[in-house]
Amino acid sequence: MKWALLSVWDKTGIADLAKVLIKHDYRILSSGGTGALLQQAGIPYTDVATYTGFPEMMHGRVKTLHPKVHGGILGRRGIDDAVMQEHGIEPIDLVVVNLYPFEAMSAAGLTLEEIIEYIDVGGPAMVRAAAKNHKFVAVVVDPADYRMTADAVRRGGFTADERLSLAAKAFSRTAAYDGAIANYLTGIDRPFPEVLTVQFRNGRALRYGENPHQAAAVYGDAGIAGEQPLQGKQMSYNNYLDVDAAVGLLREFDDCAVVIVKHNNPCGVATGDKLLDTYIAAREVDPVSAYGSIVAMNREVTADVARELTRTFVEVVIAPSCTPEALEIMKAKENMRVLRLPEPVVQDEIRSIDGGVLVQRTEPFREDWRVVTEREPDAHEMRAMHLAWKVCRHTKSNAIIFADEKAVIGIGAGQMNRVESAEIAVRKARKPLAGSAVASDAFLPFPDTMEVAAAAGATALVQPGGSIRDQEVIDAANRLNIAMIFTGVRHFRH
């Protein structure tokens, strides 16, 4: 006769698992809400209080914290048998536990006194004990593993590798749980916790990092990090970085849009009515840079678009969906990865530096667009400025973007001064810049950048404002007949 201890907050699937256990000669220990569910389902079990001889007390705070429970979990078969027999301790072979939902409740606006009651003590203690003694005890902390657990029970027990894998998962869970509690308690009355603990799951090794001599891995089971290619070879380190940049910009658009990214900067952006025409327009912004790029689309990829994509070298295509015919066409390009566009994940941005990390949070913000020049922008210029500004927010500083109503025309990025960014954008433009709008991710400290833009044909400019020389720049804009808007919000990207 084997024993299983069941104590779960999330009761999904627990009754079905318990039925399998009973059918295969397990005796079940349980208590509280889990015991009540088993009783309601007509599944026999032994109450923990009956087994230990001590009642559940302190409103449930103390129920499994007893030597007959922990001795049964921690007892080493063949070593501790005599002492277990002396004290009436039954060996527990399976521990199925999941924890009070501290993470969810800590975001529910509860008081400190209320949230403290969602800190599980007995649950993590049993999980850690079982994981430590995994040579003899299987520990299950995730309802997703119940099917595997039931299969192991049916065939007579768990393999050593299965017990080790379950133990590793259990320790990961208690680490995340304690980390969430520590983050909450050290973050009281602070914008960020004093001690930051983070955990990402689903780790996968990558072929190499940014360069072949660097090792790399990706972690995460949601958003971009959790996606696996629908076709094509596995993603690389640089692919993930560039896809993240492309999708961040793509999510700025509700209309049909295509974003092309190379080395973490957009090199082509367009909007339109039809995806095929929009993709071609985005690609033609800088077709040289588009070679070997990331293409992000916010509409379904159909056969005509797929055929156009395969006419050049594209590293990754990411879109909400692809038709079966489109996927079949893109299979001809074995090296082209195709990803599904996932739902966005809201989280802090974490970047490593020597000896630690930087953490950044983008709270909801509102820009205050206001005309600061004598001439107001017309409707065409306003639409062009909105497009240029969206792209500017996702381009490495110093960023200067030229655009018309439908597409980017020139991109200058990553320069040490803004004037050179403007000159690069002008030089790279493949279409006339006459009548275009230009965006700058930060204020113009001098009129020189705007003078470069005006000489190239731009008629409107959007920038954050905030320089001590704002009036000098405004005066120059009036002299050049440039319509200028201040947004009040800077968008540096380093």
Distances (CA, A) of 190 to 116, 193, 194, 270: 18, 6, 8, 42
55 phi, psi to nearest 5 deg: -75, 155
Catalytic residue among 11, 19, 263, 380: 263
Distance, in Å, from the CA atom of 462 to the CA atom of 252, rounded to the nearest integer, reads: 17
Residue 380 falls in the annotated catalytic set: no
Please give the pLDDT value at position 114. 87
Give me the residues paired with residue 303 across strands: none
- Is there a contact between 405 and 384 (Cβ–Cβ < 8 Å)? yes
Instruction: pLDDT tens for the chain, 494 residues: list them.
Output: 899 999 999 999 999 999 999 999 999 998 888 989 999 999 999 888 888 877 776 766 677 778 888 889 999 888 888 888 888 888 999 999 999 888 888 888 888 888 888 888 889 999 999 999 999 999 999 999 999 999 999 999 999 999 999 999 999 999 999 999 999 999 998 999 999 999 999 999 999 999 999 999 999 999 999 999 999 999 999 999 999 999 999 999 999 999 999 999 999 999 999 999 999 999 999 999 999 999 999 999 999 999 999 999 999 999 999 999 999 999 999 999 999 999 999 999 999 999 999 999 998 889 999 999 999 999 999 999 999 999 999 999 999 999 999 999 999 999 999 999 999 999 999 999 999 999 999 999 999 999 999 999 999 999 999 999 999 999 999 999 999 999 999 999 88
Q: Which helix (H) or strand (E) holds 439?
A: strand 437-440
What span, in angstroms and rounded, lies between the C-alpha atoms of 92 and 28?
9
Q: Which of 2, 19, 24, 132 is catalytic?
A: 132
Do residues 458 and 439 lie in contact, with contact meaning Cβ atoms separated by under 8 Å?
A: no
Distance from C-alpha of 449 to C-alpha of 445, rounded to nearest angstrom: 9
Whether 169 is a known active-site residue: answer no
| CB half-sphere exposure, 133, CA atoms < 13 A | 22
CA–CA separation, 436 vs 427, rounded Å?
A: 15
Question: Buried b / exposed e across 149-177, counting CB within 10 Å, b at 16+?
Answer: bbebbeeeebeeebbebbbebbbebbebb
317 forms beta bridges with 295, 338
pTM of the model: 0.88
Q: Provide the pLDDT for residue 65.
A: 75
Give the containing element (helix H, strand E) for 486: strand 483-486
Q: What is the CATH number of domain 2-186?
A: 3.40.50.1380
- Cα separation, 463 vs 487, in Å, equals 6
State the number of CA atoms in the 13 A half-sphere of 59 facing the CB: 3
CA distance 233 to 412: 32
The CA distance from 373 to 454, in Å, is 15
Sign of CA dihedral 173, 178, 184, 187: negative
Collect all residues with Cβ–Cβ distance below 8 Å to 348 and sequence separation of at least 6. Answer: 359, 360, 361
Residue 152: its pLDDT value, please? 94
Question: Where does the chain hold its CATH 3.40.50.1380 domain(s)?
Answer: 2-186
Q: How many Cβ atoms sit within 10 Å of the Cβ of residue 494?
A: 6
| CATH 3.40.140.20-classified regions of the chain | 229-340, 370-486
Per-residue confidence (pLDDT) for residue 108, from 0 to 100: 82
Torsion of CA 145, 146, 151, 153, to 10 degrees: 120
Fold entry, domain 229-340: Cytidine Deaminase; domain 2 (3.40.140)
Fold for the domain defined by 370-486? Cytidine Deaminase; domain 2 (3.40.140)
Query: What integer pLDDT is reported at residue 1 of this predicted model?
Result: 80
